[in-house]
Amino acid sequence: MTELNSAVALAEAIRNGKASALEAVEASLARSTLAQPRINCFTEIYADEAREQAASIDALPLAERAALALCGVPVGIKDFTPIAGKLTTFGSKVFRDHVAEHDPVIVRRLKAAGAVIVGHTTTPEFAYSGNTQSPLWGITRNPWNTELSAGGSSGGSGAAVAAGCVMLAEGTDMGGSVRIPASLCGVVGLKPSFGRIPMDILRTQYDTLAHFGPLARCVDDAALFLAVSEGPDDADALSLPALPPAFPVASTPARPRLAVSLDLDTHAISDEVADLFHRLIDDLARSGAEITWVKTPFSVQSVLDWEDLWAYCFAGDVGYLLEQHRGDLDPNVVALIEAGRKLDAVKLRAIEHRRTALWRAFADVLKGYDALLCPTTCTTAPFADPARRERDEILPDGRFKSVDMTGHFNLTSSCPVISVPMGLGASGMPAGVQIVGHRHDDRGVLALAKWVEGLRPPAFPSAA
């Protein structure tokens, strides 16, 4: 990573007057202009406003810049997250003209830290999918290979970071929507502990699946994003009390104890991802980690329970749109809403019972270990065009065939999870490893991620 090819280094240089915020933003805008026709990672690019904000930062005395942790750093915000005064469509034709009136807490905190928002990044409609394609904005493609998917639902953010358009981007994660694009695009993606970053953009304050999180080019940048955005706010009744800042990242234990699982006893894993994972685990063992292969309590039922909860959320939150806007909605969103409407209260309560049992069993697995490691995605990036993608299915051997294995950790949502690149597979495409920590141990997860990153330094597509 070159000297200023991280948010941490760039912000420090601008604070000290050794770099210009305007020059950083111009470079970001130039890269974004080149990348956008190829990968379609933005809904809008805010060139004029970004230049104005950067110029205002450059005009500040150095003493005032000292308080800006993200001083002049170009950042992308997912089109699921409002920005005051900006078109915020949620990837939907229904909201093609919707202009947000207020900034949520996370956007206010990023702005206050000196981040320069250069654009809104793409998402599938209402962030429903692990593949970023929407009726309004089309398909977002992977910067490593534009025939392939950038993942989702924060696919625009993952692609923009991998392509070098921005150094940091915000995402939301309800079932892996930060970690999936991180894995498929070869960047870092953090799902913090539930409540660590206030979540105030949903229609309910009592959802327990949803998280904000960063997509970043390195672990230190993800940690800096968390340090800037975390902490309680009454806008989110379930937000967590403040902790000491997550940045800088502490060193990992000299001999970390790691539980590992290739497939969470549930998923079909491609040979390419299995090879990357085994090689990483071998390198971790040679570097001093105590490795124990463990059996986990996850199952296909866990996947199905998450899918039912997801359908229930859609039926309750956007189901009202069916009556007047069915024809404008993604057919898959319509199907989700209709599936959610078929669920009854007793079935939903039974899911919560199983979710509770799952958490207790998983907490027992984590005892005695610093973290659990498993792949983030079961494959490298699939095709971007939905017509060329294989469907999720339960195989004859009982394994679940899908792109990702992330939703389990939204069911056990108090656990922080970070996806860190574990290298390029035989196809030349990246894949990530999930590091799953004890509940609320975001600092421990970041420390282990930094250690893994030392064994697998960041790599980006040649065009980036």
Percent of the chain with pLDDT over 70: 99
- Residue of 78, 86, 191, 450 with catalytic role: 78
Decide if pLDDT at 3 tops 70.
Answer: no
Computed over every residue of the chain, the mean pLDDT equals 97
- CB-CB contact of 10 with 73 (8 Å): yes
Q: Per-residue pLDDT averaged across 249-266, rounded?
A: 92
Q: Is 295 a catalytic residue?
A: no
- CB-CB contact of 96 with 329 (8 Å): no
Give the CA dihedral 36, 39, 43, 47, nearest 10 degrees.
Answer: -20
Predicted local distance difference test score (pLDDT) of residue 242:
86
Q: Is 32 a catalytic residue?
A: no
156-200: per-residue pLDDT in tens?
A: 999 999 999 999 999 999 999 999 999 999 999 999 999 999 999
Residue 241 CA to residue 79 CA, distance in Å, equals 28
Residue type, 345: A
Cα–Cα distances in angstroms (integers) from residue 117 to residues 74, 110, 111, 165, in the given order: 6, 9, 8, 11
Give the CA dihedral 175, 314, 215, 232, nearest 10 degrees.
Answer: -90
pTM above 0.95, yes or no: yes
Q: Per-residue pLDDT averaged across 239-251, rounded?
A: 87
Decide if pLDDT at 463 tops 90.
Answer: no
269-307: per-residue pLDDT in tens?
A: 999 999 999 999 999 999 999 999 999 999 999 999 999
Band of pLDDT at residue 464, cut at 50, 70 and 90 = low
- Residue of 177, 239, 270, 419 with catalytic role: 177
65-103: per-residue pLDDT in tens?
A: 999 999 999 999 999 999 999 999 999 999 999 999 999
- CB-CB contact of 181 with 151 (8 Å): yes
Q: Is 154 a catalytic residue?
A: no
Decide if pLDDT at 128 tops 80.
Answer: yes
- Residue of 6, 28, 129, 153 with catalytic role: 153
Band of pLDDT at residue 2, cut at 50, 70 and 90 = very low
Residue 37 CA to residue 450 CA, distance in Å, equals 33
335-375: per-residue pLDDT in tens?
A: 999 999 999 999 999 999 999 999 999 999 999 999 999 99
